[in-house]
Amino acid sequence: MSEPVTLSMAWGIDAETLDKAGVIDVTLNCDTNLFIDPLLLDEASDPDFRDCATKAYEQRFNQLIDLLVASKKEGDVAWRAAERHLSFHEVPFTHLGYSSGTGGSGFGSKLSGHLLVVAKEVVDLGVVNPDLFMALALFEGGIGADRISDMTTNIVVDCLARYTHAVATNLGRAVAPFHARRHHLPIAAQSLEHKGAVTAGAQRHR
C-alpha cells in the first residue's frame, strides 16, 4: 500500500497554513473518512460557498418537487424529467468518503428509480420543504452516507471548484484548466496521479 499523500504535501505548503485557512488537509491517494451532509450546507464557514451551495441544493430539489407534483403517472414527461434530476454520477477527485480509492459511489439506474418512487410518495404526502423532502426520501430509500455525499457533490461541484480556486489563489498556488467542467484548479507541487483536488480538501464547519 502506498504512503498517504496529503493536500499540504501536494501543494508544497505547511499543514498549519491550511488549518488557518479553514481547510481540511485531505489525503489525495485515498478517500478521507468524511462526507458532505446536505443539511449542513447553510452552516459552511465560507460565505460564498455557503450561499452558492445552499442555492444550488434548494434549486435542484425545488425543481424535483415541482416535477413530481406535476407527474400523474410513472413514465410521463414530468416523471422522466424528475428521473434526470435524480441521476447522479461518480465525482472523482473530492477525496471524501469511505471507499479505498478516490472515486464516488454514484447512483445506478435501479437505485435512482427506487428513490424516485419513494420521492413521489413523499410529495404525495404534501411534503414540499426541500430539506424534509430529501431527508424522508433518502432515509426511506435506504441511501447511505457515501451516496448522499456523492449526490450533494454532484449538485454543488461548481461551488466546490470555485471555493478551491479561491483558496488556492489566496495561498499563492498556481492554477490550470481541469477537465471537470472546465474549472481552473491548483497545480500540485509534486507529480501526482491527481492534478487537482476539487474540494481544496474540504471546509470545516465552525
C-alpha–C-alpha distance, residues 182 and 194, integer Å:
15
C-alpha–C-alpha distance, residues 91 and 180, integer Å:
9
Mean pLDDT on 199-204: 48
pLDDT at 205: 47
- Percent of the chain at pLDDT > 90 equals 29
Mean pLDDT on 86-91: 76
Q: Which helix (H) or strand (E) holds 186?
A: strand 183-186
Cross-strand bridge partners of residue 203: 23
Mean pLDDT on 89-112: 63
Chain-centre distance of CA 161, in angstroms?
10
Q: Residue 58 pLDDT > 90, yes or no?
A: yes
Which amino acid type is present at position 146?
Answer: D
Q: Which residue has the higher pLDDT, 93 or 127?
A: 127
Inter-axis angle of helices 47-70 and 130-140, nearest 10: 70
pLDDT at 201: 42
pLDDT at 57: 93
pTM of the model: 0.77
pLDDT at 100: 46
Q: Which residue has the higher pLDDT, 56 or 5?
A: 56
Taking all residues of the chain, what is their mean pLDDT, rounded to a whole number?
Answer: 79
Task: State the residue for C-alpha cell 498549519.
Answer: 16
pLDDT at 40: 92
pLDDT confidence band for 64 (50 / 70 / 90) = very high
